[in-house]
Structure 1
Amino acid sequence: MRLRYLLLTLGIVVLGLLSRKTSICSIDFVRMYVGDVLWAMMVYFGCRLLFVSLKKSASFGVALSFSYLIEVSQLYHAPWIDSIRATTLGGLVLGFGFLWSDIACYTVGVTLGFWVDSLPGWGRK
């Protein structure tokens, strides 16, 4: 089961990175929102991978809370955290500026992850 969550997490990372490449995707909606939805799905499946004893509902709550906290942290700007955000990995993980649309995307992404995980015969309890 862990292998399934690992492969899902890695696959979603690849899709998320591809969704941000302007040369691959020229549709503004995809570039603006799909990456954030995929990021939150990755957080959900990463949570399922790392915290094997958690139930799906608890993983949902942890993933959504983590996603919201990352977004709210974007309201805080200090030189030390902005220097982390200036790196490629830091920018991908922490983001740059708070947007309400990101909160909506994270809600959709974690919900989609939970839904996929709840398909019959798909995930664990």
Structure 2
Amino acid sequence: MTDLKAKLVYLGAVLAAIVLGLLTRNFAEHLPRFVSLHFGDALWAVMIYCGFRLLWTRQAWPVAVILSLLFCFGIECSQLYQAEWINAWRATVLGGLILGKGFLWLDLVRYTAGIGAASLLDWCGVRIIKPRQ
């Protein structure tokens, strides 16, 4: 796959993760409880993974896994910091979506599951596409 095609695929995946993640928040009452509780955070992590793949398409997928986990865990741990200025930003819609509101250990599991699923799909996709080239 060419670099441009790869970037387009990862951009599409980022946009799909954003849309699906927002849908899990906006239509939570219409979804199974497990999906509404866990998929939003997992999809946020998928978006981060695909974002790293978009930025560095020539890097191997394990690099994106490590960077994504570090980024997601860093954001989650930053929620332990409760200064007035950052809490004011977290109170906005965009700030809440990016930084979250409060630290939860379970979010680390959700992020790991999302990144694991995305990297598995990525790995399988690369295996399927490479023989055709």
Give TM-score scaled by structure 1 length: 0.91
* Residues in 1 aligned to 2:114 and 2:67: alpha-carbon distance in whole angstroms: 13
Identical aligned pairs, as a percentage? 42
* Residues in 1 aligned to 2:27 and 2:57: alpha-carbon distance in whole angstroms: 36
Given the alignment of the two structures, is residue 121 of structure 1 paired with residue 128 of structure 2, yes or no? yes
Evaluate the alpha carbon distance shift between residue 106 and residue 23 of structure 1 in structure 2; reply closer, same or farther with a 3 A threshold.
closer
What 5-or-longer segments of structure 1 have no aligned partner?
none
Give TM-score scaled by structure 2 length: 0.86
* 1:12 aligned to which of 14, 17, 20: 17
* 1:87 aligned to which of 56, 81, 92: 92
After TM superposition, the runs of 4+ consecutive aligned structure 1 residues lying more than 4 A away are: none
* Residues in 2 aligned to 1:79 and 1:50: alpha-carbon distance in whole angstroms: 33
* SS of equivalent to 1:52: coil
Match of 2:73 in 1: 68
- Structure with greater Cα Rg: 2
Evaluate the alpha carbon distance shift between residue 108 and residue 46 of structure 1 in structure 2; reply closer, same or farther with a 3 A threshold.
same
Q: CA RMSD in A?
A: 1.6
1:33 and 1:105 in contact (8 A); partners too: yes
* Residues in 1 aligned to 2:104 and 2:27: alpha-carbon distance in whole angstroms: 21
> Which amino acid is 1:56 matched to?
W
Given the alignment of the two structures, is residue 57 of structure 1 paired with residue 26 of structure 2, yes or no? no
Instruction: From the two aligned structures, give the one with the greater helix fraction.
Output: 2
What 5-or-longer segments of structure 2 have no aligned partner?
1-5
* SS of equivalent to 2:38: helix
